[in-house]
Every structure is written in structure tokens, then in C-alpha cells.
């Protein structure tokens, strides 16, 4: 069965600093990988996705993620964090044929001004 | 931008009561899902629904749960006899009609319905 690990429960960065949120997955075949963001009181908003092709994917709000098969990772990055990026970030893996996503436990991002 | 709408945003109920959570998916979507997130835990898949029937369900989705699409627009999750451990945020999601041939498509999630069972 597939699984997702987000090793960092909380991360604090200063506004303007770079950000990297870690995600490792376990899945036997080529995974479909997603990053979602959840702001307080809001639903899960899709930031970006990887299905195939270019391993560096660009998303909304200036985020990007890189799929590294050799490391089973799909880390999320942003070169310069804004205070409005404070939220909870979820990595998820989906299997072919459906959207039964398996989520990680999430990383809570705090941005210091 | 089209969105998935969920009601109520928060419901408090007594243990043993029946609860219905409602969702209005994006109008031209055909695949519907319920996920839940117990406080402090992962978002978990509950059930997927297509063509008026369940296509897949998790082991969490036992006989106390049911889903239906009563009128072609709403998609509901019913919990027949709520338990304390049903307290969670329940997310509805829908998926567009044009599935990528190789598999997974993109889900649009609602803002969630927070259920508190006392």
C-alpha cells in the first residue's frame, strides 16, 4: 500500500527566506504526486501536481516541486516566502485509475515578519 | 472559478444521532469523494462515487455511513448513529469528466464540514 511521510510537523521561516518542505512517498509504481495547502477555515487547495514528464513542476503562488524517483521524494520549494503563505501543507500520492489519495500528516508553516 | 460547496460548516450533535452532510460539487463533474480529517491526524479517504454508485470505499466506511446523490446536484454523506470518534472535518471533493487516460485527475475540495459529536 502507498504511504506518504512528511517528516517536519512544524516549520518556521522568516518572510523573504526560502522554503523547502519535505515529502517522501512509498509506492510500487510511478506515483501521481500532489501538494495541497489548507489555510484556517478553508478547504484543501491544490498547489501543484506531478503525473509524468518533467520532474520539476511549477504550481500556483510561486511554488515548485521536484520529483526524485531515486530518493522517493517530492519536496516543495519556494524561493521567497510571504506572510500569506502561513498555512498547513499536505503532500499526497494517488494511484492510477482513481483519486483515492493518501495524504501525509501535514507540515504547519509559520512565517515570521 | 468553480468551487465545491459544503454545508453545514459546523455541526454539533449528540452521540447516537443521525447526521447528513451536504455537498454541491462542480456542475459538470462526474466523480465525487468524501474524505475526513480527525483533529491532528491525516486526511483519510472514505468513499468515491460515480454513476450513482459507490466505486470504492475504505475500511472506515462501514455500515453506519452512506452516500447518495438525491437530486443530481447535491451529494450527501449520512452517518446513521454517530459516535464520539466520528468527530472530524469532512471534506467533499469532485473530479472533472475528462480523466487523464493514464489515471489520476485533479480533485477540487470543499471547505469542509466540521462535525462534533458530544
CA distance A8 to A21: 8
Greatest distance between any 2 Cα atoms in chain B: 45
Residue B12 pLDDT more than 70?
Answer: yes
CA distances from residue A88 to A2, A85, B30, B41, B116 in whole angstroms, order as listed: 22, 9, 28, 12, 21
**B101 falls in which pLDDT band (50, 70, 90)?**
very low
- Who among B44, B56, B58 is closest to A98 (CB)? B56
Q: End-to-end CA distance of chain B: give it in Å, rounded.
A: 37
Three-point CA angle B93, B98, B103, nearest 5°: 80
- Who among A43, A97, A104 is closest to B42 (CB)? A104
Per the CB < 8 A criterion, the answer to whether A90 and B43 are in contact is yes
Which pLDDT score is estimated for A1?
Answer: 77
What are the CB-based long-range contacts (under 8 Å, 24+) for A63-69? A63/A35, A65/A23, A65/A33, A65/A35, A67/A33
Nearest CA in chain A to B10: A41
How large is the average pLDDT for residues B34-47? 92
Which pLDDT score is estimated for B97?
Answer: 55
Range of weakest confidence among A31-40, A83-92, B80-89, B95-104: B95-104
Residue B90 pLDDT more than 90?
Answer: yes
Residue B106 pLDDT more than 90?
Answer: no
Q: Which residue has the cell 516543495?
A: A76
Three-point CA angle B7, B8, B10, nearest 5°: 140
CA distance A13 to A110: 6
Three-state DSSP class for residue B103: coil
Determine whether the interchain pair A101/B4 forms a contact, defined as Cβ–Cβ distance below 8 Å. no
Mutate to test the interface with B, among A100, A107, A108 (most CBs of B within 10 A): A100
Which pLDDT score is estimated for A96?
Answer: 56
Query: Is A36's Cβ below 8 Å from some Cβ in B?
Result: yes
- Who among B56, B100, B110 is closest to A100 (CB)? B56
CA distance B7 to B112: 8
Q: What are the mean pLDDT values of chain A's consecutive 10-residue runs (113 residues total)? A: 92 97 88 90 86 88 94 96 96 76 94 94
Query: Is A32's Cβ below 8 Å from some Cβ in B?
Result: yes
Give CA torsion, residues B75, B80, B82, B86, to 10 deg. -40
- Who among B91, B95, B105 is closest to A44 (CB)? B91
Number of alpha helices (DSSP H) and beta strands (DSSP E) in chain B = 0, 11
Number of alpha helices (DSSP H) and beta strands (DSSP E) in chain A = 0, 12
The alpha carbon of residue B46 is apart from the nearest alpha carbon of chain A, in Å, by 9
Omega of the bond leading into B26 within 30 degrees of 0 (cis): no
Which pLDDT score is estimated for B105?
Answer: 64
CA distances from residue A103 to A23, B18, B94 in whole angstroms, order as listed: 10, 28, 17
Nearest CA in chain A to B90: A43
Number of C-beta neighbours around residue A86 at 10 A: 17
Residue B102 pLDDT more than 60?
Answer: no
Higher-pLDDT residue of B64 and A1 is: B64
CA distance B111 to A36: 13
Proportion of chain B above pLDDT 70, given as a percent = 92
How large is the average pLDDT for residues B27-45? 90
Amino acid at each position: 500500500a502507498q504511504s506518504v511521510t512528511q517528516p517536519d510537523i512544524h516549520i518556521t521561516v522568516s518572510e523573504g527566506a526560502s522554503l523547502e518542505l519535505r515529502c517522501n512517498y512509498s509506492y510500487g509504481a510511478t506515483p501521481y504526486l500532489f501538494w495541497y495547502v489548507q489555510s484556517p477555515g478553508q478547504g484543501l487547495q491544490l498547489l501543484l501536481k506531478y503525473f509524468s514528464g518533467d520532474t520539476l513542476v511549477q504550481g500556483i503562488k510561486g511554488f515548485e516541486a521536484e520529483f526524485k524517483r531515486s530518493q522517493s521524494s517530492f519536496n516543495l520549494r519556494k524561493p521567497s516566502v510571504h506572510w500569506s503563505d502561513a498555512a498547513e501543507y499536505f503532500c499526497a500520492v494517488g494511484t492510477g485509475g482513481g483519486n483515492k489519495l493518501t495524504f501525509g500528516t501535514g507540515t504547519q508553516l509559520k512565517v515570521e515578519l | 472559478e468553480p468551487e465545491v460547496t459544503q454545508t453545514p460548516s459546523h455541526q454539533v450533535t449528540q452521540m447516537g444521532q443521525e447526521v447528513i452532510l451536504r455537498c454541491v460539487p462542480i456542475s459538470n463533474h462526474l466523480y465525487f469523494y468524501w474524505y475526513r480529517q480527525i483533529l491532528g491526524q491525516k486526511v483519510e479517504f472514505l468513499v468515491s462515487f460515480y454513476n450513482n454508485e459507490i466505486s470504492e470505499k475504505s475500511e472506515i466506511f462501514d455500515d453506519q455511513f452512506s452516500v447518495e446523490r438525491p437530486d443530481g446536484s447535491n451529494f450527501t454523506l449520512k452517518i446513521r448513529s454517530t459516535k464520539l470518534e466520528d468527530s472530524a472535518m469532512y471534506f467533499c471533493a469532485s473530479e472533472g469528466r475528462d480523466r487523464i487516460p493514464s489515471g489520476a485527475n485533479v480533485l477540487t475540495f470543499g471547505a469542509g464540514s466540521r462535525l462534533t459529536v458530544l
